[in-house]
Amino acid sequence: MTTPPKFPVDEREVEFSAIRAQGAGGQNVNKVSSAIHLRFDINTSSLPDAVKARLLALNDSRITQEGVFVLKAQQHRTQEMNRSDAMDRLQEVIDSVSSPPKMRRPTKPSYGSKLRRLEGKSQRGAIKSLRGKVDE
């Protein structure tokens, strides 16, 4: 069971256009525009400003300089399936940035871990010291 998205995408904010799919597929590919080209303008969307900022900060090649998320879906044979696949993938990207990243708290190694590390180093040094030339 999947959790519902925090910020569902309104389909009225998404622009769809049907294009011909690439690749092998025979006659069907050549005559049917079943692939979907999705465009989602991040700046004019109804998403909260914090989510917009995190989405624009993503290092994703699908986001243009103008802040438009462009996606191409051509996995399925029908336009409807490709359309729902594109919406699912867009929602997945938005869900990935919907919650702010957790801040890292600096930590220090414990006293016991320091002792164990030094003990291991001294044991290793003792082993290596036995590798020298043998004096008779």
The tens digit of pLDDT for each residue in 113-125 reads 999 999 999 999 9
**62 vs 67: CA distance, rounded Å:** 10
What φ, ψ does residue 16 adopt, rounded to 5°?
-110, 145
Domain ranges for the chain, please list them: 11-96
- Say what the pLDDT of residue 10 is: 85
CA atoms within 13 A on the CB side of 111: 0
**pLDDT band for position 29 (cuts 50, 70, 90):** low
Mean pLDDT score of the chain, rounded to an integer? 88
CATH number 3.30.160.20 is the correct assignment for the domain at 11-96: yes
The model's pTM: 0.70
The tens digit of pLDDT for each residue in 98-109 reads 888 899 999 999
Residue with token string 């702010």: 100
Angle at 22 between CA 19 and CA 28, to 5 degrees: 80
